């Protein structure tokens, strides 16, 4: 355990070194999002499962349409639950998966170790179709430089169990994905301060979180937050604007629409 924890420090060193590339990757993801296009994540094995996790977590966190960020795993859906080691070698499957990609979309290749033929095929097909390309990899090979518009290289060094990229490489990849998607969507207006303002309150826990967000963002007690959220028809973003500007629902909705849904801009326009 001590050895693994010591080695895991290299994950954060790798992320710091890769920060400029991660920023460029976030800008590319943000531009794709704001253009109304789709981002596709391709990966095999651990990398594919990390891609699935990222795509699955964005809708409940940011209220995004699940069709806007899609994960495609080598070996298909069953490979999420049971390893299909040979699937990563099928370049044709990556090409086939990328045939649904359109010009202006973004293809993100996730390949924790060497770049698999599956991911390589997807990136090459994406380029042929006029899509943006991004590669996240722990490979130190410079051969990856020309594979994508942006390459995020995470040099975490050898694993404590040689070749087991679910360890440092997988951890670094997960953190890089977190940083890319979260910073991109936050700067696209999906976050206000530290708060998720488009979360889908589909459970008791999330309904309670929505109330706490409204209360904290508006500086009001829980019962007032509950009434405000009800008046806002459950719309978290609208409730915060109503609480900040003291406007009625219809007025707040019009202000949000004029601001293109940007809560900060809507609040600022009221103060002018």
Helical residues (DSSP H) of the chain, grouped into ranges: 2-17, 19-34, 46-62, 91-97, 117-128, 168-185, 204-218, 222-231, 236-245, 249-258, 263-271
Catalytic residue among 7, 27, 57, 251: 57
Whole-angstrom distance, CA of residue 62 vs CA of residue 191: 8
First to last CA, the chain: 57
Whole-angstrom distance, CA of residue 234 vs CA of residue 57: 21
> Active site includes 124?
no
Provide the CB-side half-sphere exposure for 262 (13 A, CA). Answer: 11
Burial class (CB in 10 A: 0-12, 13-18, 19+), 267: middle
Catalytic residue among 88, 124, 125, 235: 88
Whole-angstrom distance, CA of residue 222 vs CA of residue 125: 52
> Active site includes 57?
yes
Catalytic positions, please?
57, 88
């Amino acid at each position: 355990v001590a050895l693994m924890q010591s080695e895991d420090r290299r994950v954060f060193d790798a992320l710091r070194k890769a920060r400029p590339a991660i920023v460029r990757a976030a800008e590319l993801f943000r531009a794709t999002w704001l253009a109304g296009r789709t981002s596709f994540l391709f990966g095999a094995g651990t990398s594919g499962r990390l891609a699935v996790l990222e795509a699955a977590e964005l809708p409940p966190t940011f209220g995004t349409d699940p069709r806007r960020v899609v994960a495609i795993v080598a070996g298909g859906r069953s490979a999420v639950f049971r390893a299909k080691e040979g699937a990563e070698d099928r370049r044709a499957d990556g090409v086939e998966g990328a045939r649904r990609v359109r010009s202006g979309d973004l293809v993100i290749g996730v390949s924790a170790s060497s770049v698999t033929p599956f991911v390589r095929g997807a990136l090459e097909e994406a380029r042929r179709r006029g899509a943006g390309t991004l590669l996240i990899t722990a490979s130190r090979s410079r051969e990856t430089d020309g594979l994508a518009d942006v390459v995020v290289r995470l040099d975490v060094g050898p694993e404590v169990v040689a070749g087991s990229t679910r360890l440092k490489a997988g951890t670094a990849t997960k953190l890089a994905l977190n940083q890319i998607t979260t910073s991109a969507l936050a700067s696209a207006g999906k976050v206000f301060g530290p708060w998720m303002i488009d979360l889908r309150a589909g459970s008791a826990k999330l309904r309670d979180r929505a109330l706490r967000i409204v209360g904290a963002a508006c500086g009001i007690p829980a019962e007032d937050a509950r009434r405000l959220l009800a008046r806002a028809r459950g719309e978290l973003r609208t409730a915060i604007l109503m609480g900040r500007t003291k406007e009625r629902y219809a007025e707040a909705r019009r202000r949000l629409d004029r601001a293109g849904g940007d809560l900060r801009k809507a609040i600022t326009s009221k103060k002018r």
